[in-house]
């Protein structure tokens, strides 16, 4: 009977873990697929995904047993044990992951990552066997070992004489990584960081998708196996059958098998219902992300709207009358875009304008605003494209009627046809149905 109780407990745990974590994995899978990619210089507060290279905060950390430099590690140390029958098994001595922050960087900049509590997919794994318990390697130990090897010496392991094995998963400096998570303001600087349990994966977005999909499928299988195991164990205990299993009486399989099939069928009925609910929530999330992306564009448009008159006023002496009149008349976002380009070109052709500290600061701010606007525009178009794809492709098309999305349009080559104060969604390039407004709003 003990085996039946243990089987029932294990099966219920499998149901809880498979159902709960399986749902989380499917949700993560959709988040990876639906979140547009940013660059390091234009990460914003909220959910971002970023592709870049791993870099140490100051200097690399050292994996405890492999003794190699890295930016992150998970270290598992196990000790060999044998039971009364001589069968070998490995018992965990300790299992730890590094919490030292590190950077993800690309050609535009870098963002700090705090990996404590993060889900990390590392592809490099190192396993080693040890005659005794190995000593942990620090940065100084690594230098000492390298010096000893230069002189043909070795440093012996210390501690327990029992056989041990160490397994370590590593992310190395310069390795390509993918990060998905919530960016928040740093406490020690005016910058953003990933610190609320982000997903960190070695490789690119496709590698993260494949790894997450495999985990999601495995957890679904665990859920179904847990349901079958729970039904069989319940029959063995007499909970669902006529009588519990005894020494002379086995499980009534003619009753257990149909009940197990009913349990599996119930799961297969619940899953589509929960999938439909999650599918609509997915469409809502994608729509909200596209609206948030437009808000980022609006912020940059407002900044430019305020900057263009300021820059124009400080460089008016270097412009001819026609240029000055043209820039002063800029009212619509399209006109302000032309004015910003003209001002930046003026700064390039007249370097003496930047000798004034105030003018130089305004030009720098205008350049950063134009760069930020270009990044926000790309992010917005990516978000709208994802929304359109999810609403137009099956199975999302079946629920597209329940989530708005037609009001969000791709931003074409021209500026959005409205002033920042109005901030409507931009019109499709070449869309004959779009309307354009100008003048004071």
Nearest CA to 24 among 283, 196, 220? 220
Torsion of the alpha carbons at 377, 383, 385 and 386, rounded to the nearest 10:
160
What does the alpha-carbon distance between residue 407 and residue 265 come to, in Å, rounded to a whole number?
41
Angle, helices 321-328/253-314, rounded to nearest 10 degrees: 140
The total of other beta-carbon atoms located within 10 Å of residue 284's CB is 14
DSSP assignment of 53-94: EEEESSS-EE-TTT--EESEEEEEEEEEEE-TT--EEEEEEE
Beta strands in 9-45 (DSSP E): 37-38
In this structure, are residues 184 and 45 in contact, taking their beta carbons and an 8 Å threshold?
yes
User: What pLDDT does 328 receive?
Assistant: 58
User: What pLDDT does 204 receive?
Assistant: 86
Quick one: three-class SS letters along 157-198? CCCCCCCEEEEEEEECCCCEEEEEEEEEECCCCCCEEECCCC
User: What pLDDT does 370 receive?
Assistant: 79
CB half-sphere exposure, 320, CA atoms < 13 A: 1
User: What pLDDT does 434 receive?
Assistant: 40
User: What pLDDT does 169 receive?
Assistant: 95
CATH of domain 283-402: 1.20.1440.20
Q: What is the CA radius of gyration of the chain?
A: 30
User: What pLDDT does 431 receive?
Assistant: 39
What does the alpha-carbon distance between residue 223 and residue 241 come to, in Å, rounded to a whole number?
23
Domain-wise residue ranges, the chain: 41-205, 283-402
In the chain (441 residues long), the average pLDDT of successive 10-residue segments reads: 69 83 85 85 85 92 90 92 81 90 92 92 91 70 57 51 87 94 81 88 88 88 83 67 48 62 74 76 79 79 79 65 56 70 73 70 79 78 75 70 70 50 39 36 32
User: What pLDDT does 201 receive?
Assistant: 93
In this structure, are residues 123 and 177 in contact, taking their beta carbons and an 8 Å threshold?
no
pTM (2 decimals)? Answer: 0.66
User: What pLDDT does 215 receive?
Assistant: 87
């Amino acid at each position: 009977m003990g085996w039946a109780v243990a089987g029932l407990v294990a099966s219920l745990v499998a149901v809880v873990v498979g159902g709960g974590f399986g749902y989380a994995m499917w949700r993560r899978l959709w988040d990876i697929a639906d979140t547009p990619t940013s660059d390091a210089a234009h990460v914003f507060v909220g959910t971002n995904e970023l592709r870049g290279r791993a870099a140490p905060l100051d200097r690399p950390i050292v994996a405890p047993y492999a003794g190699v430099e890295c930016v992150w590690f998970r270290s598992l140390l196990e000790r060999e044990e044998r039971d009364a029958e001589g069968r070998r098994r490995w018992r965990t001595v300790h299992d730890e992951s590094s919490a030292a922050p590190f950077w993800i960087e690309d050609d535009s900049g870098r963002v700090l990552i705090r990996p404590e509590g993060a889900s990390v997919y590392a592809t490099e794994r190192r396993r080693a066997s040890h005659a005794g318990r190995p000593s942990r390697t620090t940065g100084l130990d690594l230098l000492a070992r390298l010096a000893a090897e230069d002189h043909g010496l070795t440093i012996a392991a210390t501690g327990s004489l029992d056989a041990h094995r160490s397994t370590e998963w590593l992310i190395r400096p310069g390795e390509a990584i993918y990060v998905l998570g919530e960016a928040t303001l740093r406490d020690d600087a005016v910058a953003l960081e990933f610190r609320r349990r982000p997903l960190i994966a070695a490789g690119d977005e496709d590698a993260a998708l494949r790894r997450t999909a495999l985990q999601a499928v495995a957890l679904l299988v665990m859920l179904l196996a847990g349901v079958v195991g729970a039904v069989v164990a319940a029959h063995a205990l007499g909970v669902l059958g006529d009588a519990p299993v005894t020494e002379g009486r086995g499980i009534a399989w003619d009753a257990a098998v149909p009940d197990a099939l009913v349990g599996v069928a119930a799961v297969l009925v619940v899953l589509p219902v929960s999938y439909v609910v999650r599918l609509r929530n997915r469409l809502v999330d994608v729509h909200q992300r596209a609206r948030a992306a437009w808000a980022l564009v609006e912020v940059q448009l407002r900044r430019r709207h305020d900057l263009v008159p300021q820059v124009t006023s400080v460089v008016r002496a270097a412009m001819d009358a026609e240029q000055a009149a043209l820039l002063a008349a800029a009212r619509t976002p399209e006109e302000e875009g032309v004015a910003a380009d003209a001002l930046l070109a003026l700064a390039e052709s007249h370097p003496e304008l930047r000798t004034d500290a105030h003018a130089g600061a305004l030009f720098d701010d205008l350049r950063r605003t134009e760069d930020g606007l270009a990044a926000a525009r790309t992010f917005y178009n990516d978000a709208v494209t994802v929304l359109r794809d999810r609403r137009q492709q099956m199975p999302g098309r079946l629920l597209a009627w329940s989530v708005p999305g037609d009001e969000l349009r791709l931003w074409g080559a021209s500026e959005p046809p409205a002033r920042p104060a109005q901030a409507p969604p931009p019109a499709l390039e070449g869309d004959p149905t779009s309307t354009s407004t100008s003048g004071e709003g």
